[in-house]
Amino acid sequence: MVISGKMSRIGEIERGIDEKIPVRFGVNKKNELVRLMYETSIARNIAVRDLFDLDVVRSAIAEGKSGLFARMKALLVEMRYPSMERGDKTRIMPVKIAHDDEECSVWSGELVPKTVFVEKAVRDYPWTVSFIKNFPGVPTIEIDNISSTLQELPGKNEIEGYNSRRENVFVIKGKTSFVKRCPCTKKCVRCGYQILNIGFGCPIDCSYCYLQTYSNIPGLIFPANIEDYLSRIKELDKVTRTRTRIGTGEFTDSLALDKYTGYSAKLIPFFKETKNLVLELKTKAADIPVVMKQVPHDNVVISWSINPEEVANKYEKGAASVKERIEAAEKAAALGYRVGFHFDPIVYLGGWEKHYEKIIDHLFSNKGIRERTAWISLGSLRYTPGLKQIAERRFEENRMFYEGEFYEGADGKFRYPDNMRSEMYEKVVRRIKKHNKSCWVYLCMEPEKMWDKVGLIPGYMEK
């Protein structure tokens, strides 16, 4: 489906600038005004024609041509960012939505690739043979290596490449970076998390997902040499002296494709023997049959990313419904797994407090979840400038980037203002603690001053 509603709004803004403003601005200046008017009209629910008819806009134009751009820009910045204070930084980037941009297709929950590419080095691995059986009738092409094959595939722009990633599957031999430390952002508190790089690429389409800018590979990548990963985990466990979390959910959803890969059937029993490493499998899926067949133990936590339905239904396309995720968590807890939850990103929207209170109350109404929750993380909506531009081209519904104000931080990412984030965290923490006072709650990608303000203690506190 072509993203037509956005193009209609942009076209109306451009025509209004040409017809109602008595100055012909250069490309860059016009782009800035289009961006500010586009976001202001959405954020304030103002029709474009009414935006041009506002008294303040008419007055700015009536003052004459001299300095008109500066007046218009200042006026629109004040309308879009009414809470802006000295020192706050924003960035006014062009709206890059094109006439032929199409909204991404919604994943059905089933992986149906057009082609499976297999590196020669792993062609006869038992895991490879088992994995390929999932796709009868799908062409399997043997390749020397993924790098050369990617260069030979038909060229696509970044949007087309990402949208087509479920069409191609690459089975490879992972060689480096089996495990690495979580790349916590500049000046934020580190939680000591380790990333286990099994798999790259996620089939779910979340509007806020950083993988949209991070990955230009038109396919999903799965390593076949699982034993090499297990050996590296064993080595890491030998030198790890404190309780340390390690997870597979940084570059993919840990379980969305697990019924095809069966990775959890290898990992869960293996981690039973680790001394200090705790495995987290983080997901937005509910259909996790392989996990449910394993024997739970205290070195494994199954966790779910959670948001109110008002957020999930709009901005987490292809994910299981929130109701389904919570039901899956209830079943996992009843089976004996420890569970975790990630309210990340917390999204500001009308009535946000009631929405988050409702989902937290629902979550902890289950006795098993109250007793088996290991941790809960909180993070606010954050994004790089390029992410917003890409998301605008992939999703028709995209209000999350315009509801609330975003300012640039030391790491170049845009976040809600400090006072808004602290308020959101404080109220969510208070609601969680109402149900479960012993659960470890921590912040993701936040500086120590934010932890202090919210009343949380930095560091890994899970027992």
Determine the pLDDT at residue 229.
96
Rg (CA), the chain: 24
- pLDDT at res. 139: 97
**176: phi > 0 → left, psi -120 to 50 → alpha, else beta; which?**
beta
One domain, residues 149 and 220: yes
For residue 186, the SS3 value is: coil
Q: Are residues 173 and 293 in the same domain?
A: yes
**390 part of a folded domain:** no
| pLDDT tens string 411-448 | 899 999 999 999 999 999 999 999 999 899 999 999 99
> In the Cβ-directed half-sphere of 159, how many Cα atoms lie within 13 Å?
19
Question: 226 exposed, middle or buried (CB, 10 Å; 0-12, 13-18, 19+)?
Answer: buried
Is 395 within a domain? no
Q: CA dihedral in degrees (55, 57, 60, 66; nearest 10)?
A: -150
Alpha-carbon distance of 315 to 399, in angstroms, equals 9
Task: Give the pLDDT of residue 330.
Answer: 98
The answer to whether position 401 is within a domain reads no
Instruction: Give me the pLDDT at residue 461, please.
Output: 65
What angle, 0 to 180 degrees and rounded to 10, lies between the N-to-C axes of helices 322-335 and 352-364?
30
Same structural domain, 183 and 294: yes
Token pair of 361 as six digits = 């109350």
Q: How far apart are CA 359 and CA 308, in angstroms?
A: 6
Q: 226 and 343 share a domain?
A: yes
**Which tens digits make up the pLDDT trace of 336-378?**
999 999 999 999 999 999 999 999 999 999 999 999 999 999 9
Domain boundary among 80, 107, 140: 80
Q: What is the pLDDT of residues 85-135, one digit of tens each?
A: 999 999 999 999 988 888 899 999 999 999 999 999 999 999 999 999 999
For residue 11, the enclosing domain spans 4-80
Q: Which residues contact 238 (CB under 8 A, 6 or more apart)?
A: none
Task: Say yes or no: 139 and 50 in one domain.
Answer: no
AA letter at 153: L
Q: Are residues 335 and 256 in the same domain?
A: yes
Per-residue confidence (pLDDT) for residue 1, from 0 to 100 = 56
pLDDT at 84 over 60: yes
pLDDT value of residue 236? 95
**pLDDT, average across residues 205-225:** 92
Q: Is residue 70 domain-shared with residue 135, that is, in the same domain?
A: no
Q: What is the rounded distance in angstroms from the CA atom of residue 14 to the CA atom of residue 25?
A: 11
- Distances in Å between the Cα of 147 and the Cα atoms of 151, 152, 153, 177, 217 are 7, 9, 10, 16, 10
Dump pLDDT digits (tens) for 57-74.
Answer: 999 999 999 999 999 999
Q: How confident is the model at residue 177 (pLDDT cuts 50, 70, 90)?
A: confident
Residues 165 and 18 in one domain: no
pLDDT digits (tens, 9 = 90+) for 30-41: 999 999 999 999
Distance of CA 372 to the CA centre of its chain: 25
Give domain status of residue 426, yes or no: yes
261 shares a domain with 122: yes
CA-CA distances (angstroms) from residue 86 to 83, 89, 90, 407? Answer: 10, 9, 11, 12
CATH number for the domain harbouring residue 373: 3.80.30.30
* Same domain for 238 and 143: yes
Query: For residue 269, what are the contacts with CB-CB under 8 A and spacing of at least 6?
Result: 294, 295
Q: What is the pLDDT of residues 266-323, one digit of tens each?
A: 999 999 999 999 999 999 999 999 999 999 999 999 999 999 999 999 999 999 999 9
Is the domain of 25 the same as that of 145? no
Q: Are residues 17 and 135 in the same domain?
A: no
First to last CA, the chain: 48
Answer with the one of 64, 80, 96 that is the final residue of a domain. Answer: 80
* Cβ neighbour number for residue 352 with a 10 Å cutoff: 20
- pLDDT per residue as tens digits for the range 128-164: 999 999 999 999 999 999 999 988 887 777 888 899 9
> Going by C-beta distance under 8 Å and a sequence separation of 6 or more, which residues neighbour residue 331?
292
The percent of residues above 70 in pLDDT, for the chain, comes to 98
Tell me the per-residue pLDDT of 245-256, one tens digit each, with 9 for 90 and over: 999 989 999 999
Tell whether 297 is covered by a domain.
yes
Beta carbons within 10 angstroms of residue 87's beta carbon: 6
- pLDDT at position 458: 83
Is 358 within a domain? Answer: yes
pLDDT computed for residue 160 by the predictor: 87
Q: State the pLDDT confidence band at 463, using cuts at 50, 70 and 90.
A: low
Overall domain count for the chain: 2
| Percent of the chain surpassing pLDDT 90 | 84
Residue among 64, 78, 55, 75 at smallest CA distance from 21: 64
Which backbone phi and psi does 300 adopt, to 5 degrees?
A: -130, 135
